Amino acid sequence: MSVIEVRGLKKSFGSLDVLRGVDLIVEAGERIAIIGGSGCGKSVFLRCLELLETPNAGQIFIAGEELTAPNVDIDRIRRNMGMVWQKFNLFTHMNVMENLTVAPMKLLGMTQDAAREKAMNLLAQVGLTSKADAYPEFLSGGQQQRIAICRSLMMNPKVILFDEPTSALDPTMVGEVLAVIRMLAKQDLTMLIVTHEMNFAREVATRILFFADGVIYEQGTPAEIFDAPKLPKTVAFIHKLKYFDFEITERAFDLPKMQGGIQTFAEKYGFNARRTNRLQLCCEELIYEMLDNACAGDDVKISLDVAYSEVDGVVEIKFTCAGKAYNPLNKNFDEIDEDNLGAMILHNLSKNYSHEYEGGVNRISFSLA
């Protein structure tokens, strides 16, 4: 039996559609990392699983019981799930031991002695037995988050939901919290983790969900998503691609505007002067090569797209030009020819070059050498 099943989940805030129909089945023991850009609905999705946000449509099943059914005992079903928040949410008027034992004693009927014993065992696992009597205000952010994780475990949940558990922490404290989650992963605890820590997601998760456009846009194993994403938005997110584009519809196009746009783009992402110049030169020569050899008369339809990956520093140029079939690099460069200077420059400054012609359109792509 699945631990969580979600069918057609939708959530809107006024006219803003955040979730547009999410379907998901989570099996026992799965460790699912949820990634995506800011505002894509990751945290809203977790809050809907707890009915902290009321869905506009769809069904949610927890351990086989429908949480969204009319007149259901929501609190009873919720006990199957633990939640670890960004901001810890410990009771400030209670010490650590009280924070850990109050819920299992009141809701599960656990005796005080049994609750304290369980709490001390969990504190030992996270290295905080010495803080049992401390109040949250005297703990670091990392310590508070470790306590918050212990508090969730005190209720023996079938699944724990982590909503960006390290986002509110000082960078020096992130490692200690991630270490605790890694420890839980080794215990085969079922987890859904919203995170921006990509290396951590790759290491811990058994499945990655990439959220975009209000749905699970792409999913797969860590290797599939991080090493070989298939869909465009996943590729852009994983490689942290930044784009510059320019359209040309006439021969007398605004070259200074294009070159100025490339200069601004290059400066924003830290290109040195040599790399910036090479990029400008490649784009300019490619455009004039195609204007001279592929475009018929004044009928010009050219699109230039530059993509820069912040992950590996690669600059890719993709270029489309309607007109006759023409490949600038399908030439002999053994001898210098003034008529071939533009093509020679492209030949020397590009790598992984490809050209195809289909439907009256030349498509050229290459990386900047």
- One DSSP character per residue, 196-237 reads S-HHHHHHH-SEEEEEETTEEEEEE-HHHHHH---SHHHHHH
Across the range 324-328, mean pLDDT stands at: 90
Distances (CA, A) of 291 to 65, 85, 162, 249, 365: 65, 57, 54, 11, 17
Side-chain-side CA neighbours of residue 98 (13 Å): 10
Residue 166 carries which side chain, given as an amino acid letter? T
Closest of 156, 186, 181 to residue 166, by C-alpha: 181
User: Mind listing the pLDDT tens digit for each residue in 114-137?
Assistant: 999 999 999 999 999 999 999 999
Across the range 44-67, mean pLDDT stands at: 94
What pLDDT sits at residue 103? 92
More confident residue, 78 or 339: 78
Give the rounded percent of residues in the chain with a pLDDT score beyond 90: 68
Alpha-carbon span 325 to 294, nearest angstrom: 6
Across the range 248-263, mean pLDDT stands at: 93
Across the range 204-232, mean pLDDT stands at: 95
| pLDDT at position 336 over 50 | no
What pLDDT sits at residue 341? 58
Domains and CATH numbers, the chain: 4-238 (3.40.50.300), 241-368 (3.30.565.10)
What pLDDT sits at residue 331? 62
What pLDDT sits at residue 332? 58
| Angle (deg, nearest 10), helices 141-153 and 171-186 | 20
Across the range 169-188, mean pLDDT stands at: 85
Alpha-carbon span 103 to 152, nearest angstrom: 10
User: Mind listing the pLDDT tens digit for each residue in 277-300?
Assistant: 889 988 998 898 899 989 988 889
Cα 196 from chain centre = 6
Alpha-carbon span 189 to 311, nearest angstrom: 31
Cβ of 221: how many Cβ atoms within 10 Å? 14
Least confident of 1-5, 65-69, 112-116: 1-5
In the sheet that holds 241-248, the strands lie side by side as 241-248, 302-309, 315-322, 361-368, 350-358
Express the helix, strand and coil content of the chain in percent, nearest 5 each: 40, 30, 35
| pLDDT at position 162 over 50 | yes
What pLDDT sits at residue 196? 87
What pLDDT sits at residue 335? 53
Residue pair 203/183 in contact by the 8 Å Cβ criterion: no
Cβ of 274: how many Cβ atoms within 10 Å? 8
Across the range 47-70, mean pLDDT stands at: 94
What pLDDT sits at residue 185? 86
